[in-house]
Structure formats: C-alpha cells, structure tokens
Amino acid sequence: MHPMFWHETTSPIGPLLLAADAHALRRVHFQAGPQPLTPLPEWRRESARFADVTRELAEYFAGERRVFGVALAMQGSAFQKSVWRALTEIPYGETISYGELARRVGSVPRAVGMANGANPLPILVPCHRVIGADGSLTGFGGGLAVKRALLELEGAACVCDLFSRAS
C-alpha cells in the first residue's frame, strides 16, 4: 500500500479534507457534513502535494473552471467505477435523474444511488448533478444545502428551486 497524504482546505461550502497517494487524489470529504473524516494516524499531512487540486477547486468555486485536470484514483467495485465514470460525463450545469443514470450504466436507480453515495471524490466526480426524477435534490453526503450550493454555482435548474422561487 502506498503512503497516504492529506490536507484540509477551505471552500465556500466549508472545509474539505483531501487525501492522496503519491500518484493521484483519492478522497474529497466534506468536513462540515454529518461525518467529518479523521485522517488515519499513518497518513502524512502535506499541503504542497495538494497545490494543483486546491487551485482547481478555488477556480471551480470562482466560476472559472468547469472540468478538473488532476489525476484521480477511485477505489471501488467495477460497478461503482462504471457509475462514477458516467458521472464525469454529465456536463457542468446540467442534471440527470437517478433513473437516467441507471439507464446509462444498465442498472436500476437504487443501485446507482448507492454507488453515487459512495463516491469518494465528490465535486470532481460530480455526484451532485444527479437528482430525483421530480427534480428534488434527494440525499447528498455533504448535505442538501451543499448540493444546492454546488448546483446553483453551476447554474443548474432543479424543480425544487423553481417551487421555492415561485412562493
């Protein structure tokens, strides 16, 4: 097993814990969410290794970046990886339903929902772009307020926001 490195960075949606091995980013975790991640004792804190991803995240939050270029390493089952690859094909500012995602990977909505929820690299692998068939936001590891903030940043429309604006 390769040594792991970590860094915590600030963002408009709260602190993000980043973890990487010597080759690629492996984890983005919402520290303000319901389950903050504590780095394992053997992980090494090293901010310099994360300069590219923190710059790309800052550009994303500033509305200047739509696609990430840092190397990603996704650990999961073959099925999870197929779902995560499909997520990367959802264009910036667009959303699809769990049913549509399931159709794209040849599965069922519940299974893709579980894989979506296990995504270790949110934001960069845009699981926030998957919403309910009725336009509702549904679950999100960073919380629904974070999911809404990411979709609003990207200018994506969802039915829930249309209802809230109408009232």
**Residue 19, beta-bridge partner list:** 6, 27
Show the domain range for 55.
5-61
CA angle 139, 141, 144 (to 5 degrees): 50
Among candidates 42, 54, 76, 41, which has minimal Cα distance to 7? 54
User: 11-36: per-residue pLDDT in tens?
Assistant: 999 999 999 999 999 999 999 988 89
In the predicted structure, residue 107 carries a pLDDT above the cut 90: yes
Does any domain span residue 68?
Answer: no
What is the pTM for the complete model shown?
0.89
- Name the domain count of the chain: 2
Task: Using pLDDT thresholds of 50, 70 and 90, give the confidence band for residue 1.
Answer: low
Q: 57, 127, 150, 156: which is the annotated catalytic residue? A: 127
Using a pLDDT cut of 70, give the percent of the chain over it.
93
Would residue 127 show up in a list of annotated catalytic residues for this protein?
Answer: yes
* Residue 90 vs residues 52, 55, 79, 97, 146: alpha-carbon distances, Å: 23, 22, 18, 11, 18
At 50 the pLDDT is 98
Segment 137-143 shows an average pLDDT of 79
Task: With respect to residue 73, please indicate whether it lies within any of the assigned structural domains.
Answer: no
pLDDT at 163 over 50: no
